[in-house]
Amino acid sequence: MLEVDLEHRLGAFELDIHFRSGRGLTALFGRSGAGKTSVINAIAGLICPQSGRIVVDGSVLIDTERRIRTPAHRRRIGYVFQEGRLFPHLTVRQNLLFGRWFASGPAPAARFDDVVDLLGISSLLDRRPGRLSGGEKQRVAIGRALLASPRLLLMDEPLASLDARRKDEILPYIERLRDQAGVPIVYVSHVVGEVTRLATTVVLISEGRVRAVGSVAEVMGRAELYPMVGRFEAGAVLAARLAAHDPRWGLSELAGTFGKLTVPRLEAPVGAALRVRIRARDVILATSPPVGTSALNVFGCRVEALFPIEEAALEVQLRLDGDERLLARVTRRSGAALGLSPGREVFALIKTVAIDRSSLGRQDGGAGLDDEVDGFEEE
Amino acid sequence: MVVPGFTPDETDAVWLSLRVAFWAMLGSLPVALATAMVLARTRFWGKSLLDGLVHLPLVMPPVVTGYLLLLLFGRHGPLGRFFAESLGLVFAFRWTGAALASAVMAFPLMVRAIRLSLEAVDRRLEEAAGTLGAGGVFVFLMITLPLIAPGIVAGMVLSFARSLGEFGATITFVSNIPGETRTLPLAIYTLTQSPGGDPAVLRLTVVAIILSMLALLASETLSRRLAWRLSGD
C-alpha cells in the first residue's frame, strides 16, 4: 500500500500530488515534464519535498509535519533508472549483489538464482556492464534493484532509451515481475502502449497534479483526459481473452464482456488474457445496424458524453453492453448529422486491422498462462 | 650501499631522494584527498580563498615557500614546536623537513589531479548506490574511491616526480647537509660548484633522467589499466 501526498515548488513549477495505490503495477502516466520523475524521486528520497507525507506498507518515509525524514539508503525502495546506472567498475554479478551488503534481515526476499532466471541474465554474470546491450543493462538494473529486497520498486521510463526490439525484449520480464515477484511497482511512463499493457492502476499526472486514478480501462476510456496527456491519440482499452484462432483468414477472435472482437492473428495461446486498445479515429459510428460493410466488428452502444476537440472534431465517449467504454472520433458535422447526444443508441464499427497490435498485452493477475488455457477448455 | 661507479655520497643522495619523495607522496595523500573532496563537492564562503592557498606553492618562488616553512616549522616556529613536543617529530634540518618541503611544493599538483577525477565522477552512480542501501561512507569506499583511483594514481606519480626534483624550498628550509638533506638535485648543484665535479654531475643527471622516466612509465601503465577497468568493458 502506497500513500503519497506531496507539495513541492521548483521555480515556476508546482508539484501538488495526492494518490493512493495498492498491489501490482501503478503507472504514473503523463507527458514529459509533468512531474512524474519528481514524484518517484521524492519516494526514493533523492529529493525532499517542501511539505508532504509518503507512507509505504505502513512505514512513514517522510512526514514534514512530524519532522520525519528517512534517509534514502534506509528506505528500502528499489529504483530502476532510465539509463540503468550500472557500476562500471564491477561485474554484472557484483552489481547484482551490491544491495546484499546492506540488506538487513537474515533471509533476503528475493533469491539470487530466482531473480537471475526471471530476468534471463545468467549468461551475463561474469561480464562487465560496458559491453552489454541496452536491454541487457536494463534487465541487470532491474535485478540489482530487486536483490536489495525492496518493499517497493520504482521504474523511471526503463524502456525510454531502447529501440522497439529491445522494448519487446524487456516488456515480458516486467510483466512477470508484476505477476510473480510480489513487490509493488511504481512505473513512470509517457507511452500509452506501455501503460495499457502493464498497469494495474493508472495515475494520470498533468502539470504537477493528479488528474485521474483508476484501472487502465477506466482512465483510458475517459475522453476528457486526453488533452492532458499529450499528442498521442485517444483510444479506449478493453479487457479480453483470446477465444480462438482462425488460421484460414489469419485472424484471432477475442471475447470479453462487450461481446466478440476479431483481430489479426495474435501469437498467443487460446485463453490468454489481453488488453486491446482501440484508437478513437478507427471507430466509425452509425445510427442503424450497418449492412454490406467490410468492418468485421460491430457493437451496439450508448453515447455517454461528447467532447469537442480541435476545430472540426468531436470525441464521443460510448458505453458498451458489458459496461466497458469505447471512444470514437467523428467530425462535428457528422455528429450533428447523426444527432449524437448523451443517451443516444448507436452502432460502433471497428476496422479489424485498425487495432493497435503493440497495445495487445497480457492482463495482470497471478494465474499463469497454462492454467487459463485449461480453464478455457473446460468451459 | 655501494654501487659500482658511484661514490657513497652519490648513492646516499639517490636513496635519500627516493625516501624523501616516497614519504612526501604518501604523507600528503590523505590531506590532498580531503582537500580535493572539499573543493570538488562543497560550497562555502571563502572557497576560492582555500583554492588560492592550495595553489600558492605552484606560483610563489620556492625560496619563499622554504622560508615560510622555516618560520612555521623551524625549531622555534609555532608548528615546529608543536610537532616536536607532541609527536617527537622534528623537521628542521632533517630529511623529514625535506619531505615536508617536497610535499608542500607538490601538493597543488596532487589536489588538482584528484579533484579533476572527482568532478568527472557521475554523481548519479552514487545516488543509485544510495537507493541500494549504501550509506555515505560505503558509497565513498565502494563507488567513489574506485572511480577516482586513476586520478589518485596520477596525483601520486606527479607528486613523486615533483618531489624528486624539489630544490629551492628544500635548500632554504633544511639546508644542504650531506647524508641528511642533500637530495639528488642538491647533490648535483653542490657538485657543479666544486672543481672537477663534472663526471659525477653527468652520472647523477643520468640517474635523474632514468628515475623520472620510470615514474612516468609506471603512471602511464597504471592509469591505463585502471581506465580499462573503469570503462566497464
- Ordered by where they begin, the domains of chain A are 2-214 (3.40.50.300), 235-378 (2.40.50.100)
Distance between CA B91 and CA B101 in Å, rounded? Answer: 9
Going from the C-alpha of A352 to that of each of A185, A247, B78, the distances in angstroms are 33, 15, 91
- Average pLDDT on B114-139 reads 91
Chain B residue nearest residue A76, CA to CA: B133
CB B133, CB A101: distance < 8 Å = yes
pLDDT band at B93 (very low <50, low <70, confident <90, very high): confident
- Ordered by where they begin, the domains of chain B are 8-231 (1.10.3720.10)
pLDDT band at B24 (very low <50, low <70, confident <90, very high): very high
* pLDDT of A373 over the 60 cut: no
* pLDDT of A372 over the 50 cut: no
CB A221, CB A228: distance < 8 Å = no
Going from the C-alpha of A270 to that of each of A114, A117, A245, A374, B20, the distances in angstroms are 28, 26, 7, 10, 80
- Average pLDDT on B135-152 reads 91
Chain B residues inside the 8 Å CB shell of A148: 131-133
pLDDT band at B138 (very low <50, low <70, confident <90, very high): very high
Interchain CB contact of A128 with B (< 8 Å): yes
pLDDT on residue A108 = 56
pLDDT in tens, B30-67: 999 999 999 999 998 889 999 999 999 999 999 999 99
* pLDDT of B18 over the 90 cut: yes
Closest CB from A74, A75, A129 relative to B232: A129
Amino acid, res. A230: G
pLDDT band at B16 (very low <50, low <70, confident <90, very high): very high
pLDDT on residue A376 = 25
Residues 6+ apart with CB under 8 A from A165: none
pLDDT on residue A313 = 83
Contact B130 A129 (CB under 8 A): no
Determine which of A26-35, B1-10, B105-114, B117-126 has the lowest per-residue pLDDT on average: B1-10
pLDDT in tens, A189-242: 988 888 888 888 999 998 888 888 888 888 888 877 877 776 567 788 888 888
Interchain CB contact of B230 with A (< 8 Å): yes
Distance between CA A319 and CA A342 in Å, rounded? Answer: 10
Quote the minimal CA–CA distance from B107 to chain A in Å: 28
Task: Specify which of A2-11, A96-105, A130-139, B26-35 reaches the highest per-range mean pLDDT.
Answer: B26-35
Interchain CB contact of A93 with B (< 8 Å): no
pLDDT on residue B111 = 95
Contact A101 B134 (CB under 8 A): yes
What pairing do the DSSP bridges indicate for beta strands A13-21 and A259-264? Answer: unpaired
CB A333, CB A351: distance < 8 Å = no
pLDDT in tens, A88-119: 999 999 999 898 878 765 555 568 888 888 88
What is the Rg, in whole angstroms, of the alpha carbon atoms belonging to chain A? Answer: 22
DSSP state at residue A98? G
* pLDDT of A296 over the 90 cut: no
pLDDT in tens, A163-177: 777 777 788 888 888
Chain B residues inside the 8 Å CB shell of A79: 128, 131
Contact B233 A74 (CB under 8 A): no
pLDDT on residue A222 = 81
* pLDDT of B25 over the 90 cut: yes
* pLDDT of A258 over the 50 cut: yes
Chain A residue nearest residue B233, CA to CA: A130
* pLDDT of B233 over the 60 cut: yes
Distance between CA A22 and CA A42 in Å, rounded? Answer: 18
Which three cell numbers, joined as nine digits, stand for A102?
Answer: 546492506
Contact A44 B132 (CB under 8 A): no
Contact B146 A89 (CB under 8 A): yes
- Average pLDDT on B68-73 reads 93
pLDDT in tens, A343-369: 888 888 887 656 655 555 554 433 333
Q: Provide DSSP, A276-344.
A: EEEEGGGEEEESS---S-S-SEEEEEEEEEEEEETTTEEEEEEEETTS-EEEEEEEHHHHHHHT--TT-
Contact A46 B138 (CB under 8 A): no
Test mutation, B126, B131, B139, B145, chain A, max A CBs within 10 A: B131
Count other Cβ atoms within 10 Å, centred on residue A316.
Answer: 27
DSSP H helices in chain A: 36-44, 92-97, 112-119, 134-147, 164-176, 192-198, 216-220, 226-229, 332-338, 369-378
Going from the C-alpha of A354 to that of each of A284, B76, B204, the distances in angstroms are 11, 92, 86
On the 0-12 / 13-18 / 19+ scale of CB atoms within 10 A, A159 is buried
Contact A102 B233 (CB under 8 A): no
* pLDDT of A256 over the 60 cut: yes
Q: Closest Cα to residue A202, out of A336, A8, A5, A364?
A: A364
Q: Closest Cα to residue A335, out of A354, A308, A310, A299?
A: A308
The model's pTM: 0.80
CB A186, CB A40: distance < 8 Å = yes
pLDDT on residue A379 = 23
Mean predicted lDDT score pLDDT of chain B: 89
Distance between CA A354 and CA A218 in Å, rounded? Answer: 21
Interchain CB contact of B137 with A (< 8 Å): no
Residues 6+ apart with CB under 8 A from B130: A45, A46, A72, A73, B139
- Average pLDDT on B133-158 reads 90
Of all residues in chain B, the percent with pLDDT exceeding 70 is 98
Chain B residues inside the 8 Å CB shell of A101: 133-134, 138, 142
Higher pLDDT, A132 or A367: A132
Distance between CA A159 and CA A135 in Å, rounded? Answer: 8
pLDDT on residue A378 = 25
Q: Provide DSSP, A113-150.
A: HHHHHHHT-GGGTTS-GGGS-HHHHHHHHHHHHHHT--
pLDDT in tens, B207-225: 999 998 988 888 888 878 7
